[in-house]
Amino acid sequence: MNPFKKVQNYFIGDIVSATDDVFEKAKVEVLFNFTAFFFIANLPYAALALTLTWFHILLAYSTIIGLGLVFFILRKYKSIKWAAIFYLANHAFQNVSHFLIDNGRTEMQGILFFLLFVLVAFMILGIRWGFYTFLFVVIVFCTGVYNMATHCSLFKFPSEMADPLNEGFMQYLTLIPLILNVYLVSEFVKAQNKAGKQIRNQKILLQKNNDELEIQKHEIISSLNYAKRIQYAVLPMEEAVLRSIPLSFIYYKPRDIVSGDFYWFHEIDNNNYIIVCADCTGHGVPGALMTVIGSNLLTQIVAEGKNTTPSKILEELDEKITSTLKQQKDHIQIIQDGMDLALLSVNKTKKEFVFTSAKRPAILIRDGIMHEFKGSKNTLGGLRSGAKKFEEIKMNYLENDMIYLFTDGITDQFGGDNNKKLSIKRLRELLMSIHLLPVQEQKQKVDNKISGWVGRNEQTDDMTLIGIKL
């Protein structure tokens, strides 16, 4: 690395390495190069100024101090904006000073330096600063033209304060601002070309990444759709439920492809059956895994274990979930997932039902009067805090009684004119308005109501509602 690059890296290395924006890199490098050039160029002028007037001494040494501050800001504060502002202030001071001692007369060299002043502001600090500096230059030029046209009526500096350089050498110095203007424009054209190449490369990379994401998305959706088929295979077929309970319907609407809600059915014999409406922790894939666990455990307990006592089913289910998910307090990775569940056991011969639940209510409508069963406050699974008890509600049912089991995805769904939750109150009103209709028409009314309520909102949770005419 050459000495100049070492010095450049000392002052601006951190700023350049902190950004990938080629324009920002160009701005920092151009500002440093201009500052370094004018700093070095002013050193011989500072030595010469000692033999001239106080004004030249002030101009030379204030310029060196101002450019030194630009280096200090770049190194200490790493602020391109404030460094550029100090540089422009120094540039403006130099230009205006030479403009004043020439009494407003502007040679080609001065015009090119003023142009450089505007271009630096525009390219480093942006359009607004470029406009302000352009306006400043226009005012300065208009002032100079007026001063010269009125024989220095505004200001007049004595001839001994003019620059001690002959006219031929001043014409030679015109090359310096010309070269600097060309350099400035070429650096930003180069940066623009580099940015264009970078953008093209990024577009190619972005397209490649998008293609890979599309492939991954397709694979994930394919996997989820396959998982959905497995989940539906685990769920009891609705036709099988309808064969045993003809006057019933199941409204089942997952939020995602797979669901954290599930329903379970077991026909004990021709006159007895158990039906479950459950809501597992979470939705999507985690919830779906819990539904498979819940369905399998219920099958083990009831169908295989012959446990048909509702409260005992939930107690055993709670223990098996805790054991399956290793939810002991001393386990390294504690999984607190579980499920809320409503269970209904019906005896057709006795015209009797038993209801028990883990935090899920049920609604019974009889002769136009609504009865709500709150159920137990215990959930199934999670960290145990003593023995859990699940109360049973046993009742004889009458012909045309309607009972509804549901998950909280329905009541918690946002929508309507004011984007509020549907709420248990509105669900009660809906069920009361439809309970006398044929069951499949009830299902359609429920679907219409919920779809209308959701509207353009996203579905917030899985939804399940089971209606049974006893």
Residue ranges of the domains in the chain? 3-192, 235-469
Q: How far is CA 253 from the centre of its chain?
A: 28
Choose between 166 and 217: higher pLDDT.
217
Let me know: does 265 contact 241? Beta carbons within 8 Å: yes
pLDDT value for 383: 65
Reply yes or no on whether the pLDDT at 329 is more than 60.
Answer: no
Phi, psi of 278 (to 5 degrees): -130, 150
pLDDT value for 18: 87
Rounded mean pLDDT of 159-165?
A: 70
Residue with tokens 């306006």: 135
Provide the pLDDT confidence category of residue 164 given band limits of 50, 70 and 90. low
Rounded mean pLDDT of 319-324?
A: 86
Burial class (CB in 10 A: 0-12, 13-18, 19+), 423: middle
Rounded mean pLDDT of 270-289?
A: 88
Reply yes or no on whether the pLDDT at 268 is more than 90.
Answer: yes
pLDDT value for 23: 83
Reply yes or no on whether the pLDDT at 416 is more than 70.
Answer: yes
Rounded mean pLDDT of 323-339?
A: 68
| DSSP 3-state percent helix, strand, coil across the chain (nearest 5) | 60, 15, 25
Let me know: does 412 contact 457? Beta carbons within 8 Å: no
DSSP state letters, 424-440: HHHHHHHHHHHTTS-HH
DSSP state letters, 93-107: HHHHHHHHHTTT---
pLDDT value for 384: 62
All residues at 6 or more sequence positions from 66 whose CB lies less than 8 Å from its CB, including other chains: 86, 87, 89, 90, 93
**Could you give the percent of the chain with pLDDT greater than 90?**
49
Rounded mean pLDDT of 91-114?
A: 88
CB atoms within 10 A of CB 358: 24
Let me know: does 298 contact 315? Beta carbons within 8 Å: no
Reply yes or no on whether the pLDDT at 166 is more than 70.
Answer: no
pLDDT value for 262: 93
Reply yes or no on whether the pLDDT at 440 is more than 60.
Answer: yes
pTM for the complete prediction?
Answer: 0.63
The interaxial angle of helices 3-17 and 22-49, nearest 10 deg, is: 140
Reply yes or no on whether the pLDDT at 249 is more than 60.
Answer: yes
Choose between 286 and 328: higher pLDDT.
286
Provide the pLDDT confidence category of residue 172 given band limits of 50, 70 and 90. low
Reply yes or no on whether the pLDDT at 470 is more than 60.
Answer: yes
The two beta strands, 338-347 and 380-381, are antiparallel
Tell me, what DSSP letter sits at residue 58? H
* C-alpha atoms less than 13 angstroms from C-alpha of 117 in its C-beta half-sphere: 25
Q: What's the mean pLDDT when you consider all of the chain?
A: 88
Domain 235-469 - what CATH class? alpha beta
pLDDT value for 165: 57
**pLDDT tens figures, 360-393:** 999 999 999 999 998 888 888 876 666 788 999 9
Phi, psi of 158 (to 5 degrees): -65, 150
* Helix residue ranges per DSSP H, 299-414: 310-324, 408-411
3-state secondary structure of 362: strand
All residues at 6 or more sequence positions from 320 whose CB lies less than 8 Å from its CB, including other chains: 297, 300, 301
Provide the pLDDT confidence category of residue 163 given band limits of 50, 70 and 90. low
Choose between 105 and 448: higher pLDDT.
448
Let me know: does 10 contact 71? Beta carbons within 8 Å: no
Reply yes or no on whether the pLDDT at 335 is more than 70.
Answer: no
3-state secondary structure of 371: strand
DSSP state letters, 256-309: SSS-SEEEEEEEEETTEEEEEEEEESSSHHHHHHHHHHHHHHHIIIIIIT----
Choose between 253 and 98: higher pLDDT.
253
Question: How far is Cα 463 from Cα 413, in angstroms, rounded to an integer?
Answer: 9
Query: In the chain, how many H helices and how many E strands?
Result: 14, 13
The interaxial angle of helices 22-49 and 175-234, nearest 10 deg, is: 160
**pLDDT tens figures, 46-63:** 888 888 888 888 888 999
Question: How far is Cα 399 from Cα 386, in angstroms, rounded to an integer?
Answer: 41
Let me know: does 351 contact 396? Beta carbons within 8 Å: yes
pLDDT value for 178: 84
Query: Which of 175-179, 191-195, 267-271 has the largest mean confidence?
Result: 267-271
b (16+ CB within 10 A) / e for 278-299: bbbbebbbebbbbbbbbbebbe
Q: Which of 9-18, 135-144, 174-183, 410-419 has the lowest mean pLDDT?
A: 174-183
**pLDDT tens figures, 63-97:** 999 999 999 999 999 999 999 999 999 999 989 98
Question: How far is Cα 166 from Cα 163, in angstroms, rounded to an integer?
Answer: 8
